[in-house]
A and B are shown apart, each in its own frame.
Chain A
Amino acid sequence: MNRFLTGGLLIATLAISACTNPDRLGGDDEIAGAATGNAATSAAADPASPAFFQQSVGDRVLFEVDQSTLTAAAQVTLRGQAQWLMQNNDYLAVIEGHADEQGTREYNIALGARRANAVREFLISQGVPAARLRTVSYGKERPIAVCSDESCYTQNRRAVTIISIGSLS
């Protein structure tokens, strides 16, 4: 039980850091670069920009081992995502579900589908039209952290909301 609580706290911390440090857009350098006014961060300063969605709102939530329930921290992030999506009506989203490597390939695809769907359902409950949200699972095929211990696994057990303008297909 102690271990579980520690895990919960760790995940909460990481979920917050993920908001400001998304792997897809590089790291702290770009955030720190806001003052220097480079293109990437000036874009991120625009609340209607995808960069703002990824960096400030937070494009991902993390999950416990073999779970698809949304943590309190995940729900905070997703409320932000829902709000952003409702303010930016021309964006569609594909929610990617992922698993860590500790599991069989087929099961992890199914588990990623559960995680992606948990996010989708939550966004819908917050008012995002279902037609703008699709899900996909990558199972354990696309880890972002490559070590084989919990410090990486916790980052890989994730659902990432990928936004784009236009058709979902």
Chain B
Amino acid sequence: MKRFLALIVAAVLAGPVWAQEPLRIEITEGVIEPLPFAVPLFQAETAGSEQLASDISRLVVQDLANTGLFREVPASAFISQISSFADPVSYPDWRAINTQALVTGAVAVTGDQLTVKFRLYDVFSGAELGDGLQFAGTVQGWRRMAHKVADAVYSRITGEQGYFDSRVVFVAESGPKDNRLKRLAIMEYDGANVQFLTDSSAIVLAPRFSPTGDRVLYTSFESGFPRINVLDVATVGRRQLTTQEGEMAFSPRFSRDARRVIYSLSNGGNTDLFMTDLTTGAHSQLTSAPSIETAPSFSPDGSQIVFESDRSGTQQLYIMDANGGEARRISFGEGRYGSPVWSPRGDLVAFTKQNAGRFHIGVMRTDGSEERLLSASFLDESPTWSPNGRVIMFTRETQGATGGPALYSVDISGRNLRQVPVSGFASDAAWGPLQP
């Protein structure tokens, strides 16, 4: 990143000498100085689509600016205006206001059909970055199309997949602390368009998406006892998953190929890990220890499982083969470690850490090295990864009788901590995949 910043500074000072250096953000080390970008209001190419054009432009700006990697150059600073999507842009006008990335776009509505096209310009190179792209969809789905534009821009500049056109399933909470009502809900990654998936008649906990986002596993007290349900997102139909017999089943998670489910089962006060193969219906026991084994999460290739256990006396993180067997402990810092989640890239494990009366969200490498805490509060827990592995969403609960949970997100660099705007209490987010 430092190298890139140095280039930017050099480009500003030296002008054309560096002008061919491509527009690029390397995210790895986190970005200290956000890249200035401009999104002039998208053109309304059909009568009456002005409002949509404006809403879509604003959402593209919001998606990019909220990453903390980009900084919007406001319209008030613009020298030239965009009057047509097809006309060439005047690079010197954008260079003069130090805009490095320029996004232009156009919106057309025919009946219920919406098309959105955009171009991305590398202002200092004086060239388009990638070809213009067009997305087609429905007027009702306008937010998704704005997210797709932002994803394409993010991807072209960072070289990594975006995460804006994705959904989050979570637990919406209401009511007093000693009688909380909980319902499953789904929303866009930025807190918009909340839809409820269950009513509040039974406690529901910790929903987890299938790899394609079509199904959700969660724990429900519908029967009076914790059981694992699987819910079809499109139809909202749900059924109880047939697990190994046990008094309580909870903490489920899909394998990346969606063929297997791992979960915890409690019998006689002892909690162990089990796996059910959804295609064969076969159950297998992965751990058999007198300690608590819970919160399992598969590695992306499905070969290993990270989980928490108090076999050493306190909650710690372990990794074992996906078929069970010997487990190796990976957490050795002070305090207790729980709710591990393997990153989609496979290189990191996110976790909840409890130490000296505080809770943290953190990440470490899968061998336990390079532990890094990203947050600290009275109660932070339940991390979930953005589909590109760059951002973690988690639950932060405030204390006291009127306290309650809210969702937050933070970059894995520890920067850009922000609350996800959801009205009411919200907990236990699971971030789904980028939508097709």
- Contacts of A108-138 to chain B: CB distance below 8 A: 109-111, 113-118, 120-121, 134-138
The answer on a CB contact under 8 Å between B264 and A106 is yes
The answer on a CB contact under 8 Å between B292 and A114 is yes
A143 is an interface residue with CB less than 8 A from chain B: yes
List the one stretch of B162-170, B277-285, B369-377, B378-386 in contact with chain A. B378-386
B428 is an interface residue with CB less than 8 A from chain A: yes
A110→B251 CA distance, assembly (Å): 10
B47 is an interface residue with CB less than 8 A from chain A: no
B224 is an interface residue with CB less than 8 A from chain A: yes
A113-B271, A135-B247, A144-B178 are contacts. A107–B338 as well, Cβ < 8 Å? yes
B226 is an interface residue with CB less than 8 A from chain A: yes
Interface class of chain A by DSSP:
mixed
The answer on a CB contact under 8 Å between B397 and A137 is no
The answer on a CB contact under 8 Å between A107 and B269 is no
Residue of A nearest to B401 (CB): A146
Which of A94, A106, A118, A148 contacts B250 (CB under 8 A)?
A: A106
Q: How far is the CB of A140 from chain B (nearest CB, A)?
A: 10
Which of A107, A109, A120, A137 contacts B315 (CB under 8 A)?
A: A107
B436 is an interface residue with CB less than 8 A from chain A: no
The answer on a CB contact under 8 Å between B180 and A105 is no
A134→B266 CA distance, assembly (Å): 12
A67→B192 CA distance, assembly (Å): 41
Q: How far is the CB of B106 from chain A (nearest CB, A)?
A: 47
A116→B202 CA distance, assembly (Å): 20
B44 is an interface residue with CB less than 8 A from chain A: no
Q: Hey, which chain B residues are within 8 Å of A143, CB to CB?
A: 177-178
The answer on a CB contact under 8 Å between B251 and A138 is no
Residue of B nearest to A111 (CB): B292
Interface readout for A88-117 with B: 1 if CB under 8 Å, 0 if not? 000000100000011111110111011111
Q: Hey, which chain B residues are within 8 Å of A142, CB to CB?
A: 178, 203
Q: Hey, which chain B residues are within 8 Å of A115, CB to CB?
A: 269
A141→B250 CA distance, assembly (Å): 14
Q: Chain A interface residue count: which class?
A: 20 to 34
- Contacts of B122-178 to chain A: CB distance below 8 A: 176-178
Q: How far is the CB of A18 from chain B (nearest CB, A)?
A: 16
Residue of A nearest to B357 (CB): A102
A142→B294 CA distance, assembly (Å): 20
B225 is an interface residue with CB less than 8 A from chain A: yes
The answer on a CB contact under 8 Å between A105 and B269 is no
A-B contact count (CB 8 A): 107
Q: Hey, which chain A residues are within 8 Å of B230, CB to CB?
A: none
B188 is an interface residue with CB less than 8 A from chain A: no
Interface readout for B201-224 with A: 1 if CB under 8 Å, 0 if not? 001011000000000000101001
Chain B residue total in the interface (Cβ 8 A): 43
B403 is an interface residue with CB less than 8 A from chain A: yes
Which of B177, B292, B382 contacts A146 (CB under 8 A)?
A: B177
A137-B248, A138-B203 are contacts. A104–B292 as well, Cβ < 8 Å? no
B88 is an interface residue with CB less than 8 A from chain A: no
The answer on a CB contact under 8 Å between A106 and B251 is yes
A111→B378 CA distance, assembly (Å): 20
The answer on a CB contact under 8 Å between B428 and A107 is no
A106-B295, A107-B338, A146-B178 are contacts. A135–B269 as well, Cβ < 8 Å? yes
The answer on a CB contact under 8 Å between B177 and A105 is no
A115→B268 CA distance, assembly (Å): 10
A103→B226 CA distance, assembly (Å): 18
Among A109, A145, A147, chain B packs the most CB atoms within 10 A around the CB of: A109
Which of A103, A105, A110 contacts B266 (CB under 8 A)?
A: A110
The answer on a CB contact under 8 Å between B178 and A110 is no
A37→B213 CA distance, assembly (Å): 60
Q: Hey, which chain A residues are within 8 Å of B352, CB to CB?
A: 104
Which of A94, A105, A111 contacts B205 (CB under 8 A)?
A: A105
A107-B315, A118-B269 are contacts. A101–B205 as well, Cβ < 8 Å? no
The answer on a CB contact under 8 Å between B308 and A107 is yes
The answer on a CB contact under 8 Å between A105 and B382 is yes
Q: List 26 A-B contacts (CB under 8 A).
A: A101-B397, A102-B354, A103-B354, A104-B381, A105-B205, A105-B339, A106-B250, A106-B294, A106-B295, A107-B294, A107-B310, A109-B250, A109-B264, A110-B266, A110-B292, A113-B247, A113-B266, A114-B270, A136-B226, A136-B247, A137-B226, A137-B266, A141-B180, A141-B205, A142-B203, A148-B403
